[in-house]
Amino acid sequence: MTAAAAQFARDLVLQAAAPYRQAGRYAWHFARGKLGGDPAFAALLAEGLLTGRQRIVDIGCGQGLLTAWLLAAQDASRRGRWPAQWPAAPAPAHIHGIELMQHDVDRADRALAPAVRDGRASFTAGDMCAADFGRADAVVILDVLHYVPIAAQDAVLARVRDALQPGGVLLLRIGDAGAGLPFRISNWVDFVVTTLRGHRLTKLFCRPLAQWQATLAALGFTVQAQPMSDGTPFANVMLVAHLPHAAAGKI
């Protein structure tokens, strides 16, 4: 990433986090830390992973940071501020966040109230194992599936596949259980932080990268894996999983 693009991304963190001031000091500080410290957010834009997607569903959305990020990106691009070498900014018609914890949904609703009022965003409290995903052309699941057992993960992935339009994309970030020490560090940090945030966990349900890829391929996705833990001690991988476009003559 060029120095100018890196500076743009830092400015965008401040813009995307600003609405969380209305949701309290914790929400605001958390937004700045997560958006600035997690390489996935800048990479999504720099690599155009959501460019052109109209209906995005964010499963396990937390306090709605992905929505805040995409809205800030769209706004910056409209004002003519966009790195020349990046693909076009995402301009989704609607982003729907689904989140287990009601207090996170409340923060998202409070921070992003204008977009919720305008129908550009919505947040629902619910368990991904039961929630309706609606129809989407992109589904994003960042660091969420491993909280439920493998069979439940597979059921979620099958319902994601069914919710996606032909040509749809799933962005699934996972921890690679085959990655040794960096994986054990991320797993430990995740367990402690998630317990502190009020979840009652007994264990996390992880698998090696090759198993994730095989699971998605069996569901009909074409999968590319991109390391996604730059600047962190973790073993995170972004799986970019595409469904085929509808064959000519088929609906």
Ligand X SMILES: C[S@@+](CC[C@H](N)C(=O)[O-])C[C@H]1O[C@@H](n2cnc3c(N)ncnc32)[C@H](O)[C@@H]1O
Q: Name which of 195 and 222 has its Cβ closer to ligand X.
A: 195
Could you say whether residue 23 binds ligand X (CB under 6 A)? no
Among 32, 34, 94, 120, interactor with ligand X by CB under 6 A: 34
DSSP collapsed to 3 states, 60-104: CCCCCHHHHHHHHHHHHHHCCCCCCCCCCCCCCCEEEEEECCHHH
Residue 132 binding ligand X, by CB under 6 A: no
From the CB of residue 201, how many other CB atoms can be counted at a distance below 10 Å? 12
83 within 8 A of 2, measured Cβ to Cβ: yes
* Cβ proximity to ligand X, 127 vs 230, nearer residue: 127
Cβ nearer to ligand X, comparing 157 with 245: 157
**Residue nearer to ligand X on the CB measure, 189 or 217:** 189
Site string for ligand X, 110-129 (x = CB under 6 A): -----------------xxx
Which stretches of 79-174 are DSSP H helices? 102-111, 113-117, 150-163
Residue in 29, 27, 31, 30 with CA at minimum distance from that of residue 107: 27
Tell me the C-alpha distance between 99 and 102, whole Å.
Answer: 7
* Residue closer to ligand X, measured from CB, 62 or 92: 62
Q: How far is the CB of 154 from ligand X (least distance, A)?
A: 14
> Could you tell me the smallest distance in angstroms from the CB atom of residue 58 to ligand X?
7
- Which of 45, 100, 105, 138 contacts ligand X by CB under 6 A? 100
109 lies in the binding site for ligand X (CB under 6 A): no
Instruction: Find where tokens 């690679």 sit.
Output: 176
Find all residues with CB under 8 Å of 243, minimum gap 6, and list them.
161, 164, 165, 166, 167, 168, 169, 170, 220, 221, 222
99 vs 176 by CB, closer to ligand X: 99
Residue listed under structure tokens 């957010």: 41
Hey, which residues between 37 and 96 contact ligand X (CB under 6 A)?
A: 60-62, 65
Which residue ranges make up the site for ligand X (CB under 6 A)?
34, 60-62, 65, 98-101, 104, 127-129, 142-144, 147-148
